Amino acid sequence: MMESSYKIVFEALETGSGIAKAIKDMAEGLDISIVIINPCGKIITECYRMPYQSEAKIHDQEGSSWCQMVEDYYEMELSGEECDKDAEVVENTAFGLRIMRPIVIKEILEGFCITYHHEHEEMEDASVQNRLICRAMAIGFGWKNQVYHLDGPSAKQVVGRLLLGKRENIDLLPKISERTYQMFAPEPFSMAVIKGLDGVCIRHLRGKVNERFPEALIYAEQKELVILFVSVNDQKLKEIGRYIDKFLKGQEYGCALSGIFDGKEHIKIKRKMLERVIGIGERIDASKKIYTEYEYYIELICSYAFDEIGSQGYCYRELKNLEREDKEKGTEFYRTLKQYLMSGNNVNLAAKEMYIHRNTMVYRLSKIHEMLGLEINDPDIARRLLLSMVLEEFASDGNLYNLL
């Protein structure tokens, strides 16, 4: 089997009639169907043999049927599994066995070889044939200096992975031109991160988002779904928030949503920030499902400060007086002060947030002023007090800190 396959494949290549003719000769000689695609699923050349000549070709139109195989390959690479020139993705179809393997030239991914095999063929023999064709294509591409650039709608998948994935070393991925970025990732952006998902939930949510926001870039990684919304304005951001809130109702997982921002170089950092926002938000109010970057911005910034300086903020000793009073007498002075500061020193808004009467809020603030001996309405003091309170909460809540 090995010897005959080797002869068919390399004799077809040696004719020098071009990649398309070589693939046709290989397909006929091996009696299999062969499709060569670029790194994001666009067909380079193809030759279908029976029983794939009609049904399979229609099914494979635009590469839609193998998109999941390409994604599985990238996920395999991302997970740290062995993913070299011999790595393969196998799928059983209604027509038989389908195998996909990367075509790699000088450690750069240039495309994939997909072969279809009859049901009676052995997996080992099918794998050998696919491997031989991949090696032949690598040689043929090299001879012809045939390097494929990412173009067309199919490039969206790879652009999303490059922008949203955590992996820093992307040598095995094709290079993306600035034109391609501009095509699929027009600024400004907004990003959503949804954590704690299983495979079924990821596929369901991915489908829902694609229906409503087909231009969005979506990437799944480590039980997270990362969504980059493009060409965002204030109205669209509100629409995104309403839509996410709607499909998260009754679910157990949480979501962080960013504001509007520019610059693709900020995308990976924004993802890390939103992951922190979810951890912070779930500790502060686990009943919520959407935690916005804006709403938890102070806690977010303080979490990074805590990494460096711990809880050594301003007015630390004076705040201990409030905590001691609350513990001894069952008052809520500490919480009242924080809510007042978080509300921009607005008495009415703070009272509303705490569900207390305005007069009660005024009384509590008067007592707080006496205990602290500080002018809490002084902008500089108010800012320092709030930062100190948030940093102290990070220190006292070890579980919150561990989530970060």
Cis-peptide into 51, omega within 30 deg: yes
CB proximity list for 389: less than 8 A, separation 6 or greater: 313, 319, 334, 337, 338, 341
Residues 246 and 323 in one domain: no
DSSP 233-270: -HHHHHHHHHHHHHHHTT-S--EEE---B--GGGHHHH
Give the pLDDT band (50/70/90) at residue 371.
confident
pLDDT for the residue numbered 14: 79
Residues 279 and 202 in one domain: yes
Do you know the residue count of the chain?
A: 404
Residues 267 and 380 in one domain: no
Residues 315 and 291 in one domain: no
pLDDT of 235 strictly over 90: yes
Residues 282 and 316 in one domain: no
- Report for 108-122, 146-160, 227-241: range of highest mean pLDDT: 227-241
Distances (CA, A) of 152 to 16, 39, 97, 158, 348: 29, 12, 28, 11, 55
The region that residue 181 occupies, defined by phi over 0 for left and psi between -120 and 50 for alpha, beta otherwise, is alpha
Residue 358 falls within a domain, yes or no? Answer: yes
pLDDT of 147 strictly over 70: no
pLDDT of 125 strictly over 70: yes
Residue 149 falls within a domain, yes or no? Answer: no
Residues 253 and 140 in one domain: no
**For the domain that residue 24 is a member of, what is the CATH number?**
3.30.450.40
Q: What one-character DSSP code corresponds to residue 196?
A: S
- Contact assessment for residue 110 and residue 119, using Cβ atoms and an 8 Å cutoff: no
**For the domain that residue 391 is a member of, what is the CATH number?**
1.10.10.2840
Cis-peptide into 174, omega within 30 deg: no
> What does the pLDDT look like over 308-322, one tens digit per residue?
766 565 556 778 888
**Arithmetic mean of pLDDT, 324-345:** 89
Residues 264 and 381 in one domain: no
Residues 195 and 255 in one domain: yes
pLDDT of 377 strictly over 60: yes
> What does the pLDDT look like over 154-205, one tens digit per residue?
467 777 877 887 754 444 444 556 666 777 889 999 999 998 777 677 777 8
Residue 227 falls within a domain, yes or no? Answer: yes
Residues 10 and 132 in one domain: yes
pLDDT for the residue numbered 363: 93
**For the domain that residue 207 is a member of, what is the CATH number?**
3.30.70.270
pLDDT for the residue numbered 390: 80
Residue 155 falls within a domain, yes or no? Answer: no
Lowest mean pLDDT among 73-82, 135-144, 255-264: 73-82
* Residue ranges making up the domain that contains 228: 186-295
Residues 107 and 7 in one domain: yes
> What does the pLDDT look like over 254-274, one tens digit per residue?
899 999 999 888 898 999 999
Give the pLDDT band (50/70/90) at residue 149.
very low
Residues 263 and 395 in one domain: no
Residues 86 and 135 in one domain: yes
In this prediction the pTM is 0.57
At 337, list the tokens.
Answer: 């002060």
Give the pLDDT band (50/70/90) at residue 64.
low
Number of domains present in the structure of the chain: 3
